[in-house]
Amino acid sequence: MRALVTGCGRRLGFYLCEQLVASGWQVTGSYRSERPELAQLRALGVELVQADFAREGGVDGLIAALSAHEDLALVIHNASAFEPQAEDPALQREQFDRFYRVHMAAPFALNHALAPQLARQPNASIIHITDIYIHASAPQFAAYVATKAGAHSLAMSFARELAPAVRVNTIEPGPILFLDEHGDAWRQQVLAKTPLAREGGLEPIWQAVKLLMENDYMTGASIRVDGGRSLAVI
């Protein structure tokens, strides 16, 4: 069976590709720009397709590449864009458009295009990676949060539309893996309001992915993998 992982060039997407290959899956991964980590995925046999979701028609080449794979059974929407909201209103509009294309328009196009292929496989599923902050206001990240919330809504709509042939679920990560630019003070502030009081790492997300892959009676579900962080922010 084949899986698609978008945003495979680093962090979670890279890790999911590794785990899927180790589990016996054929994997196609999409990436926006070339990165050293991609050489490792190529060495594992991952089919890599360059796709800039922030551009009009950025998914077209990826859809074309996947059309050759009749064994497609899993899609993981991991590609994401993230940055604080710009102060300039004109730049805010540009940010929103970019986040919308990456978090909503690209998954929408991929789900519609790939649904017929997925429906031919037993227990096929789609997983959208969203964020716990879709349930909380965050003015400094308004465009990011709004479009991630839109991705959640899309997933719920597709769960109804594509049933019973294809299951659609979401995973809502919390403080899984801090970015390099996150300072110690900020990290401690976040962890102080996280009941499990530690960074989660990538393995808990893979565990949630496996659950959603294997449990054939789950669709329209959302799993929070956040160490309890949502208890403090929602």
The vertex-225 CA angle with 10 and 151, nearest 5°, equals 70
Among residues 224, 35, 58, 42, the alpha carbon closest in space to that of 131 is found at 224
The residues annotated with a catalytic role in the active site are 144
Q: State what percent of residues in the chain have pLDDT above 90.
A: 83
Considering all CA atoms of the chain, what is the largest pairwise distance in Å, rounded to the nearest integer?
50
- Provide CB contacts within 8 A for 36, sequence distance 6+: none
What token pair was written down for 51? 């796709």
Question: Model's pTM, two decimal places?
Answer: 0.96
Task: Using the predicted structure, report yes or no on whether residue 182 has a pLDDT greater than 90.
Answer: no
Residue of higher predicted confidence among 169 and 186: 169
CB 5 within 8 A of CB 72: no
Instruction: Give Cα 120 distance to the centre of its chain.
Output: 23
Among residues 126, 132, 138, 151, the alpha carbon closest in space to that of 200 is found at 132
Task: Say how far apart CA 182 and CA 162 lie, in whole Å.
Answer: 39
Task: Say how far apart CA 130 and CA 222 lie, in whole Å.
Answer: 9
Dihedrals phi, psi of 94, to nearest 5 degrees: -65, -40
CB 6 within 8 A of CB 77: yes
pLDDT band at 205; cut points 50, 70, 90: very high
Q: How confident is the model at residue 69, as a pLDDT?
A: 97
- What stretches of 114-192 adopt beta strand conformation (E)? 124-129, 166-173
pLDDT tens by residue, 6-31: 999 999 999 999 999 999 999 999 99
Residue 14, CA distances (Å) to 58, 149, 156, 184 in order: 20, 24, 26, 25
Dihedrals phi, psi of 214, to nearest 5 degrees: -90, -30
CB 214 within 8 A of CB 115: no
pLDDT band at 137; cut points 50, 70, 90: confident
Domains and CATH numbers, the chain: 2-233 (3.40.50.720)
Q: How confident is the model at residue 186, as a pLDDT?
A: 79
